[in-house]
Amino acid sequence: MGQFDAALMSYEEAFKIRSKAYGNHDDRVAAVMKNIAFLEFRRGSLDKARIILSDVVKIRRSNGTNNNVDYINTLCLVGNIYRIQDHLQEAVNTWREAYVTIYEHNFSDEMSDLVDSLENLMEKTSKQIENLKTLPAFAYDLGLEKAYTIDKTRKTKK
């Protein structure tokens, strides 16, 4: 068994213990879930990681602990996973929530680099969404969205 698998087993055991001790909706359980999600992300299990992180976000919201840097970083990772999986609108929505949270809780000064990155990601991804809306219907039918978008970008750069 490799170190990765051993770490995952340890976190899963910690999850069971904390869930029994504190219930499934406690922030201490969410912290372990986040660690499990990071390992799943690194393993390449993006769906698992996204689902677990989305549950972490729900726990933090329900506990009122969605006003800190950890919550914002979790949202950013969920948005990035959505982007990797080509769920563009979900990515923008998730990044937007992180962006709004930064300003609602006055983190904009200490997180100015993240604010800039989120603005850039949201702008570029929103433009990509708009480009996809202009695809001819046959491109969707044939599954050619990516190829058509790349070709269209090349044509406009010339």
pLDDT grade, residue 1 (50/70/90)?
Answer: low
pLDDT grade, residue 124 (50/70/90)?
Answer: very high
If you average pLDDT over residues 133-145, what whole number do you get? Answer: 60
Cβ-count burial of 72 within 10 angstroms (0-12 exposed, 13-18 middle, 19+ buried)? Answer: buried
Q: Is position 151 within any domain? A: no
Q: Is position 15 within any domain? A: yes
Domain containing residue 75 = 3-130
72 within 8 A of 110, measured Cβ to Cβ? no
Q: What is the DSSP letter of 158?
A: -
Residue 75 predicted with pLDDT over 90? yes
pTM (whole model) above 0.85? no
pLDDT grade, residue 137 (50/70/90)?
Answer: low
Residue 90 predicted with pLDDT over 70? yes
Name the nearest CA neighbour of 45 among 36, 54, 32.
36
State the total domains in the chain. 1
Q: Is position 139 within any domain? A: no
Q: Is position 157 within any domain? A: no
Distances (CA, A) of 12 to 16, 38, 56: 6, 13, 15
CATH number of the domain at 89, please.
Answer: 1.25.40.10
Contacts of 43 (CB under 8 A, 6+ apart): 4
pLDDT grade, residue 154 (50/70/90)?
Answer: very low
* Residue whose entry in the numeric block shows the structure tokens 């979900």: 90
Q: Is position 158 within any domain? A: no
Q: Could you give the CA distance from residue 27 to residue 13 in angstroms, rounded to a whole number?
A: 16
Q: Is position 63 within any domain? A: yes
pLDDT at 132: 79
Q: Is position 91 within any domain? A: yes
Mean pLDDT of the residues in the chain? 87
pLDDT digit string, tens, across residues 15-71: 999 999 999 999 999 999 999 999 999 999 999 999 999 999 999 999 999 999 999
Q: Is position 155 within any domain? A: no
